[in-house]
Amino acid sequence: MSFTENTNEAIMQKNIEELLLSPFIKEIEGDTMMAFSGVMSQEAIVGLGEVLRSELHHYHPLNVVNKIFAVYIEMTQNILHYSQDRSESNGKSIGKGSVFIFRHKQAYSLVTINLVNEKQHDYLQNKCKLVNSFNEEEIKGHYLNRRKRQAEGDSKGAGLGFIDIIRRSGNPIQYKFDVFDSQLHYFFLSSKINIEY
What distance in Å separates the CA atoms of residue 172 and residue 166, rounded to the nearest whole number? 6
pLDDT digits (tens, 9 = 90+) for 106-117: 999 999 999 999
Are 67 and 60 within 8 A, CB to CB?
no
Half-sphere exposure of 145 (CA within 13 A, CB side): 7
Q: What is the pLDDT of residues 16-61, one digit of tens each?
A: 888 888 899 999 988 999 999 999 999 999 999 999 999 999 999 9
Domain boundaries, the chain: 3-117+171-194
Instruction: Say whether domain 3-117+171-194 belongs to CATH 3.30.565.10.
Output: yes
Determine the length of the chain: 197
From first to last of its 197 residues, the chain has per-residue pLDDT tens of: 444 444 443 345 567 888 888 899 999 988 999 999 999 999 999 999 999 999 999 999 999 999 999 999 999 999 999 999 999 888 889 999 999 999 999 999 999 999 999 999 999 999 999 999 999 899 888 888 877 776 665 544 445 789 999 999 999 999 999 998 889 999 999 999 999 76
